[in-house]
Amino acid sequence: MTGFPAVRPRRLRRTPALRRLAAHTSVRGADLVLPMFVKEGITEPVPVPSMPGVVQHTRDSLRKAAAEAAEAGVGGLILFGIPAVKDGRGSAADDPGGIIQAALRDVTAEVGNDIVVMADLCLCEYTDHGHCGVLTDSGAVDNDATLERYAATAVAQARAGAHVVAPSGMMDGQVAAIRRALDEAGEPEVAICAYAVKYASCFYGPFRDAAEGAPRFGDRASYQQDPSAADALREALLDVDEGADIVIVKPALPYLDIVAQVAAAVPVPVAAYQVSGEYAMAEAAAARGWLDRDRAIMETLTAIKRAGAGIILTYWAAEAARRLG
């Protein structure tokens, strides 16, 4: 015996109220961003089979769902557009009359500044080959030609009402090119949420069903990061130097160590994307009674927040925000 009173950590776990009072990490609805898909040419929402509860929206159903998310207390929305016609350069991505620009106008008219409206900025949903950029004759992604397309798309999205553009293609120099284009177009207040750390992951499969953006050949390993590489901090710091206002780590749960490293190193907010595969695994296990769905949702969100992500992109955003009050 040392003479000191016995240390009993369980004292602060005895009741729900004590546990809440002593909690080190808390998730708020305002921390959450809801990914939403809108498809051109459909008349009713189309369920995504590999993502229970997620749909490809019509423009009308998107407006309604955006308003419901804002009412629930969600902090932001990120929109993904699926055009009726695709081509090799992703022409619909920066078309002022294209589906993503139309959806941005719809949503900002519906919710205004009550919720942050973000636009995914990539070409994979818009190209007929499914890659994230313009291709060379040999079939490789042309980095610099793709930057020109990203810049044009960023300006189109900003003019359609996006508060934040989110380049996700992992091209070298994408943040600098987009920041320059926005500033020159008179849109300096539009923020950039950069996918700075995006791994070539197997966990994106259900998303590619939802966004109809799977590559028609090859893969994205030449521009997305290798899961075993040690270049996450370099990529994140480069994007911050180029003008990123927020940086994203994607996926979230398999890379909580990377979330923590990035959060400790950068001077801007860090987001983590709880991707479609993470969502689908939990939903599938819960449907079979293998885990408690509600607890799994909150436990995973808490883990991501505890790792250092101040912003979490999750398909459970509206549901979780309602639960959090």
Residues belonging to the active site: 198, 250
Whole-number Å distance between alpha carbons of 237 and 241? 6
Residue 302, Cβ density class (10 Å: 0-12 exposed, 13-18 middle, ≥19 buried): middle
Q: Are 263 and 248 in contact (CB under 8 A)?
A: no
Whole-number Å distance between alpha carbons of 178 and 310? 24
Helix axes 276-287, 293-307, angle to 10 degrees: 150
CA angle 271, 277, 281 (to 5 degrees): 120
Q: Where are the alpha helices (DSSP H) in 73-216?
A: 99-111, 143-159, 174-184, 205-211
Instruction: List CB contacts of 322: < 8 A, sequence separation 6 or more.
Output: 29, 72, 73
Kindly state the tokens that stand for 215. 């590559």
Whole-number Å distance between alpha carbons of 35 and 28? 17
